[in-house]
Amino acid sequence: MVSDFVTKRLIVDKLALHDSIPVVPYLNIVYVENKGAAFGMFASLGNGFFITISFIAIATILLYMSKIPKGLELFSISLIFGGAVGNLIDRIMLGKVIDFIDVYVGTWHWPAFNVADSALTVGVTLFIISTFMQARKDSTS
């Protein structure tokens, strides 16, 4: 969460909205404001909707964590929790989420994202992997 907060503040302080800095081929640092969900989808639902969904997701994660997950499952849930809180902070403080990582190939650009989004994506992926690993382990026991 700290790295998400710090990187977003650096972007806001150092770049103008929609500025882009090439870093290496396939990667730019940009300043984009996202009022919607992933990739700006559903922005018309409003910030209050996304704040509510974030609080529900965080409460669900905390309830799930009370069952004392461990290992990869705990790590994945922690990434999901941190990512959700990181973007929630932006929504509460700014009414939008700051995105700044622009990955591209040729003229095709993946929608800009941030450290919290990365944590969420990696966390969900690892959670799915840990779930399949546990199911496989349970079926062989």
Choose, from 4, 90, 99, 102, the residue flagged as catalytic. 99
13 is catalytic: no
Q: Check the CA dihedral 49-13-112-75 and report its sign.
A: negative
Residue 94 carries which DSSP code? Answer: H
117 is catalytic: yes
Contact 117, 83 (CB under 8 A): yes
Contact 133, 72 (CB under 8 A): yes
Percentages helix, strand, coil for the chain, rounded to the nearest 5?
Answer: 60, 20, 20
Choose, from 4, 90, 102, 117, the residue flagged as catalytic. 117
Give residue 62's Cα distance to chain centre: 17
Which positions are catalytic? 99, 117
